[in-house]
Amino acid sequence: MNNYESDIENKMEVSWEADCKEVPKTEVEVSWKAFKKRISKRSWKRKRTLSYKVFGAAAVLAVIFTGYFFLNVYNPNIQVVNNSSLDKEITLPDGSLVLLKPNSGIHYKERFENTRGVSLTGEAFFKVVKDSMKVFKVKTATTTTTVLGTSFTVNQKRGLKDAKIALYTGKVLVSVKGRLESWAIIPGESFVYEKDKIFIEKFETDLSFETGNEFIDVNNIELEKLLDFLEDRFNCEFQKNTYTKNKRITLRVNKSDSLKQVLNILSIINNTKYEMNPKTKEVQILKK
């Protein structure tokens, strides 16, 4: 081992003390230029690769910006808010009719292209033009109502999750945000989402001002069904009795009628007397 190390040291010493031939300056310059050329080529390749990446990113941004510009400038959102005390009539791009209720808002695209849809806050009645190729969707904060062509109301209570969808004609499919199930309802049914619970209610499709009617002609309808309608409309409660059971009635109810006016008409037609407690809003039905 020691002999091997000594041999290495001797060879290094000889090399160190040996004479070195001087390299011509021209050869040094040629070698230096060749080295610089190799370095510059590698640098240019790196710059070119970087340029391609920058150009590609710029192209992607340009496409995104162009698409966004086209969608929002050439097909902008339309927003309508009804701050009046009356229904506001709106005709959508496909010809569908919306009656926007007071203190409600809606927004939609200026043109319906691949899909038809609106976003709603508050309440509105929809009469949707049928299109078998394009479904129509009404979205609220908690529900999505999907239809092809039908008439219905959607009521999303402001500031709450609670919602109600009432169907007059056709068929709709209702889904709730955060739930996998969907519910299909038929005319005369209301989908009710209240306090995180879901249930279906029945109602008379002819007894409604939500569709834009100024009056309702009630023809030979059960009196108790009319009283149910009046309870919802005027936030009162009728004390039904044996007199109201199986009783039928025919009359016209105007949209502008007050509860007192309707009760006066009923008292004349049925020879009855109606007394309402102003505190509890309970209405008693008495025979004259």
SS3 of residue 21 by DSSP = coil
Per residue in 111-162, pLDDT (tens digit) is: 998 889 999 999 999 999 998 888 999 999 999 999 988 999 999 987 778 9
Per residue in 230-253, pLDDT (tens digit) is: 998 999 999 887 778 888 989 999
Indicate whether 42 and 112 sit together in one domain. no
**Residue 13: inside a domain, yes or no?**
no
Distance CA 75, CA 80 (A): 16
**Residue 18: inside a domain, yes or no?**
no
Per residue in 91-104, pLDDT (tens digit) is: 999 999 999 999 99
Task: Please give the mean pLDDT across all residues of the chain.
Answer: 81
The yes-or-no verdict on residue 180 having pLDDT over 50 is yes
Which domain CATH number covers 255?
A: 3.55.50.30
The model's pTM: 0.68
SS3 of residue 241 by DSSP = coil
Domain count, the chain: 3
CB neighbours of 89 closer than 8 A, spacing ≥ 6? 97, 98, 99, 100, 212
What is the per-residue pLDDT for 209?
Answer: 87
DSSP-assigned beta bridge partners for residue 159: none
Between the alpha carbon of residue 207 and those of residues 84, 147, 227, the distances in Å are 24, 23, 11
Last residue of a domain, one of 154, 180, 202: 202
75 backbone dihedrals φ, ψ, rounded to 5°: -140, 70
DSSP 8-state code for residue 98:
E
DSSP 8-state code for residue 242:
T
User: Which alpha helices (H) appear in the chain, and where do they start and end?
Assistant: 2-17, 25-69, 223-234, 259-270
Residue numbers of the domain that contains 64: 25-74
Last residue of a domain, one of 171, 202, 233: 202
What is the per-residue pLDDT for 25?
Answer: 56
Indicate whether 68 and 115 sit together in one domain. no
Indicate whether 172 and 249 sit together in one domain. no
**Residue 219: inside a domain, yes or no?**
yes
